[in-house]
Chain A
Amino acid sequence: MRLECYNLNYTYPDSEVPVIRDLSFSMETPGFNAVFGPSGVGKTSLAKLIAGMEPGFSGKIITTGIDTILYSYNLERLPGWSGTGNHLDKVTPDGKQQLKDRLISIFELKNILESRFSKLSMGQQNRINLVRYLLQDFDLLIMDESLANVDEKLRETIILSIKDLFPAKMFLYISHNLMEVSGLCRDVLVFGKPSGNKGCSIIGGRDYTKGYQPDKETLDRTMLEIMNAI
């Protein structure tokens, strides 16, 4: 499994300024990777290019052993005409009932399955949305701030469980939380500030798994490394 990008350039049709400029990187083997950087540097644009949602870019995106790419994002909604549980049932492929139940339990969603989507808090909305993506067949799932508004402790539980449940899948997690990406992610693609000349680089995260023992010194070093890359 390999995701490679070479000399990517992309400018939105209604803009003259390129949002992605000469970006090259590669990520190998499955794992929970991150994209990190300040707002407006092109993280979402990159995600959409990889997911095949934005045509008209130059450069190359090579996905070896990755057939299905899904892109999920913060503020997605479920239809409002029935309860969220009902919607979840409808999009759960055959044979994934157990996985669904397990995810519902990990994501702490049991009590809200009867409710309409619009009645949920933003954190609950993002969680139920992510669950339905995790139930689909995919090789690479891009999570564009998909856990925004979820409290920190639950977020960590969710990420560690995802890593545990889907060891053969690749994830690209777009987040603004430095501690989270430094500790929980494997490869961190760091976007430098547009004003600077640092470009992009891949920094190795601590890639903690369930039951990890935090090592403050190494974590601080990784965080510093990421900050310097920005």
Chain B
Amino acid sequence: MLFRRIYQFLIVYFIGLIFLLLIKAVLSLSDYVIPGVGLITETFGQVLNTYFFDVMNTMSVTVLGQCISIAMAFGVGIAGRKSSWMGSFIKVTAYNIQAYPIVALAPIIFILLGDGFISRLLIASMICYFPLLLSVLGIMATPVEDIEHFYIITGRMRWQLEVKIRAFENLSKITTVISGSATLAMAGTIVAEFIAANAGIGYSIRVALYQSDLAKILVALFMIGIIISIYQGCLETLGEQIKTRWSVSKGGNTI
């Protein structure tokens, strides 16, 4: 899973790079517009180390932001799963807030919280949170009738059991959404850094953009891609392990 993610990324990255170099060759563009192989390699050597730590910095915010957004999505998803007035109020509110692009809200966040770690974390969580919420709400609001019926008719149903049944029945969907949301959390953090932070790879990209340095941006994209692939691969492996552990019986059977 992990290696597949990495080589899939490498294939896409190098196809993109070859495409750019082809355009450069066909239109005989200078290194300023599209850097040549030499310049890209040279830039790789110069900034790889710095960018690695920048991406790791971004990654730390991403992971934390994702954890927060998962907790928030499950909290709201569980609270909003009922077809009661409160449930539908929570659902409608969540859907409506989602309509605002976070990037548009970002300046307000920066003015209120400054341009440090908390703002980055909040924006990353918010960008990652809404798609997660939609999935969690969808899963939590859909009854698994053939399992739940017994507990309802015998008066044994508790909200914890209901959540457990629905989460277990949709485990694959949940792990896919969570690992998919890692990309969103990363994108959110990068956007936040690009707009207003003093650290992270998003900030480095902004600096490179100021200097119209596409070579640096290509290195940044490479580092982001590799590290997000590793992170996603780890999440998927973890998801598989959780699924196996939760669904394997003592006798060794699997679902």
A interface with B by C-beta (< 8 Å): 51, 53, 70-73, 75-83, 91, 114-116, 118-119, 129, 132-133, 136
Contacts and interface: CB of A to CB of B under 8 A. Distances in A.
B147 A79 contact: yes
Nearest to B161: A79
Contact of A77 (B146, B164, B247, B253): B146
Contacts of A132: 150
Contacts of B246: 81
Nearest to B144: A77
A24 B22 CA distance: 82
B151 to A, nearest CB: 8
Contacts of A129: 150
20 contacts: A70-B153, A71-B149, A71-B153, A73-B149, A76-B150, A78-B150, A79-B147, A80-B247, A80-B255, A81-B164, A83-B250, A91-B154, A114-B249, A114-B250, A114-B251, A115-B253, A116-B253, A118-B255, A119-B255, A136-B154
Question: Dominant SS at the A interface?
Answer: loop
Q: Categorize the interface residue count of chain B.
A: 10 to 19
Contacts, number: 56
Contacts of A118: 255
Interface in B198-232: none
A79 B168 CA distance: 8
Contacts of B247: 80-81, 116
Nearest to A138: B154
Candidate in A53, A72, A76 with the most chain B CB atoms within 10 angstroms: A76
A70 B154 contact: yes
Contacts of B169: 80
B150 A82 contact: no
Nearest to A69: B153
Candidate in A81, A91, A118 with the most chain B CB atoms within 10 angstroms: A81
Contact of B249 (A70, A79, A83): A83
Given A70-B154, A91-B154, A116-B255, A82 B249 contact: yes
Contacts of B249: 82-83, 114-116, 119
Interface in B154-181: 154, 156, 164-165, 168-169
Contacts of A76: 146-147, 149-150
Contacts of B146: 75-77
B143 to A, nearest CB: 13
A119 B253 contact: yes
Given A75-B146, A76-B147, A80-B255, 19 more contacts: A51-B153, A71-B149, A76-B146, A76-B149, A77-B146, A78-B150, A79-B164, A79-B165, A80-B169, A81-B168, A81-B246, A83-B249, A83-B251, A91-B150, A91-B154, A115-B249, A116-B253, A129-B150, A133-B150
